[in-house]
Structure 1
Amino acid sequence: MFYSFELEQYLGELLPARNELLNEMESQSLKETIPVVTPPVGNFLALLIKMSKAEDILEIGTAIGYSTLWLAQDLEGRTGHITTIDLNIDRAKRAIEYFKRAGIEDRIDVLFGDARRIIPTLEKKFDFVFVDAAKGEYLDYLSLVLPRISPGGILVVDNVLFRGWVVPGEKFAPKYNRMVTHLREFLSKLTQNPDFQTSVLPFGDGISVSFRIK
């Protein structure tokens, strides 16, 4: 995290109390070092869904389903549906169990496999797309998902600032060169795309929010 843990913790403390299932998933992800969004980011996702009234939602990177449950919070009483994709079958299966416990398994399709191969097989367009998967593949995801976002739709991508290392002049271990370079290229292409209006927000590990211009 490129800004203080204390600040992120404070932002989390400002949120309303989370339900028992989300608390359990947070504890489990910390215990097993499973990468999931922070609670402030999860709350932001839920807020965007509520404000946009998105119905068809695509998530790339399910993990154990923590962010999916945030995305699903405003679906009750509406016809919304989530399609979520993950390469890690074991984690995705655990996510399905959490969805069952939350009583929303009928609103979520979990697809196992490489999103780069699965996305081209999806027939519909989406009102909301959330990407939180392999950072070195963000450029690939970008080219695949942009044509599938409906006019007026929203694209949110997590970890786009990657500990602040995307900032020119920042120092990091050489093993991260490729990933940081890809993220810089990704942000450049996304922010310069004339079909989308984009803002990059410096909380969590950095989030980009893009609106498809009608």
Structure 2
Amino acid sequence: MFYSFELEQYLGELLPEREELLKEMESQALQETIPVVTPPVGNFLAFLVKTSQASRILEIGTAIGYSTLWLAQGFEGRKGQITTIDLNVDRARRAIEYFKRAGIEEHVEVLFGDARKIIPTLEGDFDFVFVDAAKGEYLDYLNLVLPRIAPGGMLVVDNVLFRGWVVPGSEFAPKYNRLISHLREFLTNLTRNPDFQTSVLPLGDGVSVSIRKR
């Protein structure tokens, strides 16, 4: 986490009381070390979907569906559809069961497989794309989704600061060299894209928010 655990915990305590299902999923993810967004990031996702009035969402990285539930909360009774993709079939199937329990299964399409192969097969544009998958593949996802984001649409990417190690001069184990290099290249390409306005926020493990210019 880019900033202290204590600060993230405090931000979580400031949130309204979460539904029991979300708490159950948080506990499950913690027990099994399943990577999911933090509650403050989840709340931020719902906020962005609500304020942008997004109705067609693409999510890359389902896991057990925790962030998907937050995204769906942003609809607040509006008609909306989420297409979510994950390579881990077991986790994605568990996500489907959570979607049924949350009563949002009719609004979520779950696709199993490699997002890099699936995205080119999808039809139409999206007004909101959320990426939280293999960090070393972020640049691949970026190149695939940018042309599919509608004017005024939004791209949100999690874990872009990766424990703060993307900052030049940071010290980390050599095994992370390639991953950090990929993330730095991703951020450079994203922030310098003239068709998008981007802000990078030190929320959770780093979140980038980009809006396609009209």
Scaled by the length of structure 2, the TM-score of the pair is 0.99
Distance in 2, matches of 1:163 and 1:39, equals: 17
SS of the residue 2:123 aligns to: coil
The aligned counterpart of 1:205 is 205
1:76, CA displacement in angstroms?
A: 4.3
Query: Deviations along 1:20-77, whole A, 9 cap, x unmatched?
Result: 1000000000000000000000000000000000000000000000000000013243
Deviating beyond 3 angstroms after TM superposition, the runs of 4 or more aligned structure 1 residues are none
Q: Does 1:140 align with 2:140?
A: yes
Distance in 2, matches of 1:116 and 1:213, equals: 24
The aligned counterpart of 2:19 is 19
Distance in 2, matches of 1:201 and 1:79, equals: 29
The aligned counterpart of 1:156 is 156
Distance in 1, matches of 2:160 and 2:33, equals: 20
Indicate conservation of the 8 Å contact 2:58/2:130, yes or no: yes
- Map 1:80-159 → 2, pairs under 5 A: 80-159=80-159
Distance in 1, matches of 2:19 and 2:165, equals: 34
Query: Deviations along 1:147-170, whole A, 9 cap, x unmatched?
Result: 000000000000000000000000
Distance in 1, matches of 2:69 and 2:119, equals: 21
- Map 1:27-42 → 2, pairs under 5 A: 27-42=27-42
**Equivalent position amino acid for 2:149 in 1:** I
Q: Does 1:172 align with 2:172?
A: yes
Query: Gapped runs of 5+ residues in structure 1?
Result: none
Scaled by the length of structure 1, the TM-score of the pair is 0.99
SS of the residue 1:198 aligns to: strand
Distance in 1, matches of 2:193 and 2:11, equals: 31
The aligned counterpart of 2:45 is 45
SS of the residue 2:172 aligns to: coil
Indicate conservation of the 8 Å contact 2:48/2:74, yes or no: no
Corresponding residue pairs, total: 214
The aligned counterpart of 2:188 is 188
SS of the residue 2:75 aligns to: coil
Distance in 1, matches of 2:176 and 2:148, equals: 30
Indicate conservation of the 8 Å contact 2:15/2:40, yes or no: yes
**Equivalent position amino acid for 2:154 in 1:** I
Distance in 1, matches of 2:122 and 2:21, equals: 30
Query: Gapped runs of 5+ residues in structure 2?
Result: none
Compute the RMSD of aligned alpha carbons: 0.6
Distance in 2, matches of 1:23 and 1:159, equals: 21
